[in-house]
Structure 1
Amino acid sequence: MSPTEDKIDDIKDRFSEEREHVFNKLLMYHIKILLGDFNAKVGREDIFKLTIGNESLHEIMFPHRNIHKFSWISPDGKIHNQIDHILIDRRRHSSILDVRSFTAADCDIDHCLVVAKVRERLAVSKQTMHRVHMKRFNLKELNEVEAKEQYCVEISNRFTALENFETEVDVNKPSETIRISKFLPRRV
């Protein structure tokens, strides 16, 4: 819970610095969502940019009835405030689809339940993409006698050549590796 406006500025600054330190410590590709009772009233105006920081404040962006925007209602029911917020780093701001509060949720506190719909698109790693596009060979062709004999002859020729060869062979060089593609057709 963040400090209220009546607290000393030093306490409020320490809270902001600690929040910023935790956010900066996380890696760039981590999704950083901060939820809570920030005791802050903010709007769309530019003067609130310093309050929000590099994060994106979302509950003020979606069109809802006022009853679904308020996150705190006074005990007498006359005062309504939007002081519970959801912050997300600007890089992922499009991941938040909707934010609203539910007044009917009985949590035994004076705050309403604030719910966000979040969608995250997962990126496919380069290794996974490489595996998908790997060349596959029809190994069932090795069961045929002619292909099996051809492959065995090629391997034995290579090994006898290696036994007689005194210098090192670069196995990563395409011309010096055994190519199974000579003997086996590609899968269709």
Structure 2
Amino acid sequence: MSMRLSLTNKEFATLLSVYAPTLQAEPAEKDRFYSELRYVLRRTPAADKVIILGDFNARVGRDGVSWRRVLDRHGIDNCNKNGGLLLESCIELQLIITKTVFQQKKNRLMTTWRHPWSKHWHLIDYILVRQRDRRYVLHTRVMSSAECHTDHRLVRCKIRLHFKPKPRKGGSLRKTYKLSKLQSAEVRSVFQVGFQSKLKNVSDLEGSLT
């Protein structure tokens, strides 16, 4: 799923929600997923701030030296095959995995999913942004206490964006009244007739409801 939001200064942010194939999926299915992701990003205007959120079913490991500018210093686990596909795509598309930028002390604040057989916790849910937009990311962390009715933990990312104000329909919502016009006997008479008529309509409506 994708959503494009208007920002100030004629800028835009494009949000993508994704779900990648599992480790057991066929290689062709995995290739198709990353091909579609590349296709969507290439169609996204180059000036847009891109935020990709989702379950990538991938463990990217902690080798920030080999994957410089994609992984930072705070990765966990060992990289698996799906993680290699994700890292290669991030290199090609110039993306960074924001979760690895920020240190969190406890394991439960770093992992997002527990394997049903081994019962080990792993990090497989990520939020990615373009490398040039890293400075807008204030923090990314796992919310271990959030209840989302899923076997995954919630991942929250704080990003500094300035949204374009929503235009008001029909101009200002605040009505103005020129009370000085009521000093005129003619205007005052018209107002009183109209006001009495509205009161009668309300009274008749309440009577019909009872």
With the length of structure 1 as denominator, give the TM-score of the two structures: 0.59
Other-structure match for 1:52: 90
Aligned-residue offset at 1:73? 2.7
Work out whether residues 57 and 87 of structure 1, in 8 Å CA contact, stay in contact via their aligned partners in 2.
yes
Distance 2:136 2:42 in 1: 20
Other-structure match for 2:34: 16
Q: Deviations over 1:39-93 (max 9, x none)?
A: 0000342265415332111101211022111111346894111000011111212
User: After TM superposition, which residue ranges in structure 1, 4 or more long, deviate above 4 angstroms?
Assistant: 74-77
More strand by percentage: 2
Q: Deviations over 1:9-63 (max 9, x none)?
A: 1111111011011111111111111000000000342265415332111101211
Match of 2:155, SS state, is: strand
Other-structure match for 1:38: 56
Q: Which residue type is aligned with residue 128 of structure 2?
A: L
Distance 2:130 2:97 in 1: 9
Other-structure match for 2:104: 64
Distance 2:46 2:26 in 1: 32
Q: Which residue type is aligned with residue 59 of structure 2?
A: K
- Percent identity for Structure 1 against Structure 2: 31
Count of residue pairs brought into register by the alignment: 122
Q: What RMSD in Å do the two structures reach over aligned CA positions? A: 2.1
Q: Deviations over 1:140-185 (max 9, x none)?
A: xxxxxxxxxxxxxxxxxxxxxxxxxxxxxxxxxxxxxxxxxxxxxx
1:75 and 1:43, CA in 2 relative to 1: closer, same or farther beyond 3 A? closer
Question: Which of 1 and 2 has greater Rg?
Answer: 1
Match of 1:59, SS state, is: helix
Other-structure match for 2:155: 114
Work out whether residues 56 and 90 of structure 1, in 8 Å CA contact, stay in contact via their aligned partners in 2.
yes
Distance 1:74 1:114 in 2: 18
Flag structure 1 segments of 5+ consecutive residues without an equivalent.
123-188
Distance 1:6 1:41 in 2: 14
Equivalent residues in 2 for 1:173-184, closer than 5 Å: none
Distance 1:38 1:17 in 2: 14
Flag structure 2 segments of 5+ consecutive residues without an equivalent.
1-18, 68-83, 164-210
With the length of structure 2 as denominator, give the TM-score of the two structures: 0.53
